[in-house]
Amino acid sequence: MLNKKSAFSGLILLLAILWSMNASAARGLPDFTDLVGEASPSVVNISTTQKVQQRSLQGGFPPGQQVPDIFRHFFEEFEEQQPQQPRQRQRQSLGSGFIISEDGYLLTNNHVVENAEEIIVRLSDRRELVAELIGSDPSTDLALLKIDADGLPVARLGDSDQLRVGEWVLAIGSPFGFEHSVTAGIVSAKGRALPNETYVPFIQTDVAINPGNSGGPLFNLDGEVIGINSQIYTRSGGFMGLSFAIPMQVAMEVAEQLRENGRVSRGWLGVVIQEVNRDLAESFGLDRPQGALIANVDPEGPAAAGGIQTGDIILEVEGVDIETSSDLPPAVGRLNPGKEGEFVILRDGERLELQVAVGERPENPRASSGRPEEDEPAAAGRLGLQVEPLPAAMKERWSVESGVQVVSVAPESPAAQAGIRRGDVLVSLAGRPVETPRQLAELAADLPSGQSLAVRLIRQGNPLFVALRITE
């Protein structure tokens, strides 16, 4: 009998331990209820009215047309069409936003309100107010709105720079028009660069974001907004586990300028940059790939005035490490035009410090370069290239003043392995400018074997570097 009692007591003890372990595991998961109750009133639904031409839509796209870009915005959803009218007023429930001041300033995405004739903000208490567009910035996809109201619930703003990968985050918005929907996940990565998004180091999360969440806040567990939901990666048009938010530090810098000036001015160097891969790192004397390689310099731009040259690798800007080329535009953009910043560069294997006064980014920035011309045909046998003088038409078309045109590339040659193509303009080799075909042949004859050498090209008007290695 005693043994039975002992066995029963042991079983009870085991069950108690298992229950305790499960309870502890459950307590390890975040409880979002208080956060949602506190933060939801500051989140708004945004819709617009605008004139559009009549068209037939299926899922936001013309019949038969595929999603044009996997990094697509969400503003092509929820169109309530009024049929049989060639021109009409169309009301679109487009996205979300959140209140950043008691007197009615709000933040949302630029693509939510772009081209809108009327912007309607629906508050959590069901009031609908017309909003004024204070300013927008397509480069960061941000817009600042103002409604005529006081004593509004304000979202608490956090420091996105302190955000850590793996941290829990929560989104509140209006996916597919369902207002104040809550989704949660973790931070997957920071500082993500997306195609055509130059000035935003995105926060990547696995929070479920869908059309209608655009412009809505991303909260940390302290109930602070640390990002603005902006884009998703999708092949289907819906959520696929990859969402991207604009960091709050970037958003507030833009919002302050929009509030003061109605527009955003940002620093500009006047350079074309490219990534440093392993071979290029070796050719420039780096022990690992890092920095932003200067492929071209506008001779009249701030970079040229500050002493930056083609072939330099920018490693730091104002104490901020430039690990990849995508780190450079936001670092420069955050400098005020006219402000002198400290740039650490690598040139000819040596680290240099330059004081460069950045300019204001023009509407259509464009970089160009130039060197004198000469015309004398020759071949560069060690490289596996046949080149000829640069035609005048090509110089004019691509704004190139010197270099040689590649007319053929031998299969399996060092040039072919480096990716040099017929039609490329070869501008420099191992840091030395190429003025004529004969000069290229002479340079090639003296090149060392077994090490990567940087070759600067102009391809279809675009400057780039490739790494070439002679193995003989």
The catalytic residues are: 111, 141, 214
Do residues 154 and 163 make contact, with C-beta atoms less than 8 angstroms apart? no
Residue 187's alpha-carbon distances to 38, 182, 184, 219, 374, in angstroms, are: 22, 16, 10, 11, 56
**Amino acid in position 435:** E
User: With the CA atoms of 396, 401, 403 and 409 taken in that order, what torsion angle do they form, in degrees rounded to the nearest 10?
Assistant: -10
254's enclosing H/E stretch is: helix 248-261
Single-letter code of the amino acid located at 343: F
In sequence order, what are the residues at sequence separation of 6 or more whose Cβ sits closer than 8 angstroms to the Cβ of residue 214? 73, 74, 75, 94, 95, 96, 108, 109, 111, 112, 173, 229, 230
Q: What residue spans of 33-147 are helical by DSSP H?
A: 33-39, 110-113
Residues in the chain: 472
Torsion from C-alpha of 451, 454, 455, 457, nearest 10 degrees: 150
CB 35 within 8 Å of CB 170: yes
Say if residues 262 and 269 touch (Cβ distance below 8 Å). Answer: no
Give the number of other Cβ atoms within 10 Å of residue 311's Cβ. 22
Instruction: Round to the nearest angstrom and report the end-to-end CA distance of the chain.
Output: 90
Q: What is the C-alpha to C-alpha distance for residues 224 and 238, in angstroms, rounded to an integer?
A: 26
Q: Which of left, alpha, beta for 36 (phi over 0: left; psi -120 to 50: alpha)?
A: alpha
Phi, psi of 251 (to 5 degrees): -60, -40
Tell me if 273 sits within 8 A of 184, measured CB to CB. Answer: no
328: DSSP letter:
H
Q: Could you give the CA distance from residue 317 to residue 300 in angstroms, rounded to a whole number?
A: 21
79 class by beta-carbon count within 10 Å (0-12 exposed, 13-18 middle, 19+ buried): middle
Query: Could you say which DSSP state residue 66 is in?
Result: P
